[in-house]
Amino acid sequence: MTPKKITVPVLRARKGKGPRIAMLTAYDATMSRLYDEAGVDVLLVGDSLGMVVQGQPHTLGVTLEEIAYHGRAVARGASRAHLVGDMPFMSFQVSADESVRNAGYLLKHGAFEAVKLEGGVDVAEHVRRIVAAGIPVMGHVGLTPQSVHAMGGFRVQGKTDDAAQRILADAKALESAGAYAIVLEGIPSDLARKITLAVDVPTIGIGAGVGCDGQVLVSYDMLGMFRDIRPKFVKRYGEHGDAIVASVARYVSEVQAGDFPGPEHSFGEVQVKPAAEATGQAALPSAGGGYGPADS
């Protein structure tokens, strides 16, 4: 039986009831197929791709076209998961009109089903306009990586009473503007729990403790593939970076020693069929498909 497609109403119905929403970032079709098969509910093409795919120190250089490009790839790999595209820095801050146009671009050219954007009170009117255009919006408050320079680095937010009140107000403004879910990033657990109780839409935490309606992680972090930093809130579910280095090092040494390829990886002599010789037709390629010959 085909598993039930995860949609905006399916996610909203889980508020307060569960099961908790499991969300991961994805950037290509090979990985999104694996995450989808594993049962991930929401796949986000995050602007974290600037750091973990492009090797930049922050997310600010990522473009709308790049998010759309990765979105098309992710969509080809996933059939069940709900697909969300991150609106990059300066694609939604300038005006409501530009925000609607750019959110529409991501749905048209990125195969997304929703967009995510950072900010609260300041962008609430833009969220309202995007939602009015029929585009579901996921909010994102607390530690908002696109404000890295304003925050003076990637720091936990909402530690004073005033700062906590502002983040709560941001979340409520997004809810009133029509956001269907809100990412809470890098805030104390008690604040995340308070926000989760205060809004009627699911909250999805990252570095926000145990009281949220769901969780999100950068997939390369939880798989142990992005090893530059190791934030406290990341649990590594595998050391796949180490596994890749070990596999590739074995390949390198086998190639250097002449142990790979062996006869079992080599094609035999070409057998020209008499009928093809007689008619002058070329022998048909095998039906293996793919990007190389399937047999000898």
Binding residues (CB under 6 A) for ligand KIV: these are 25, 44, 46-48, 86, 183, 206, 216, 218
Report the 10 Å Cβ neighbour count for 39: 11
Cβ-contact 121, 149 below 8 angstroms: no
Q: Which CB sits closer to ligand KIV, 97 or 122?
A: 122
Could you tell me the smallest distance in angstroms from the CB atom of residue 204 to ligand KIV? 8
Give the chain's length.
296
- Least Cα distance to 112 among 43, 211, 209 occurs for 43
Q: Tell me the closest approach of the beta carbon of residue 203 to ligand KIV, in angstroms.
A: 12
Measured in degrees and rounded to the nearest 5, phi and psi for residue 105 equal -60, -45
CB nearer to ligand KIV: pick between 231 and 293: 231
Beta carbon of residue 25, minimum distance to ligand KIV (angstroms, whole number) = 4
* Residue of closest CB approach to ligand KIV: 46
Rounded to the nearest whole angstrom, what is the least distance from the CB of residue 190 to ligand KIV in the complex? 21
Distance CA 79, CA 77 (A): 7
- DSSP readout, 116-183? E--BSGGGHHHHHHHHHTT--EEEEEES-GGGHHHHTSS-----SHHHHHHHHHHHHHHHHHT-SEEE
Among the listed residues 16, 69, 20, the one whose alpha carbon sits nearest the alpha carbon of residue 205: 20
Asked about 277 being catalytic, the answer comes back as no
Q: Which is nearer to ligand KIV, 46 or 202 (CB)?
A: 46
Query: Which residue, 135 or 204, is less far from ligand KIV as judged by CB?
Result: 204
Query: How far is it, in rounded angstroms, from Cα 2 to Cα 245?
Result: 36
The catalytic residue among 65, 125, 185, 264 is 185
Catalytic machinery residues? 185
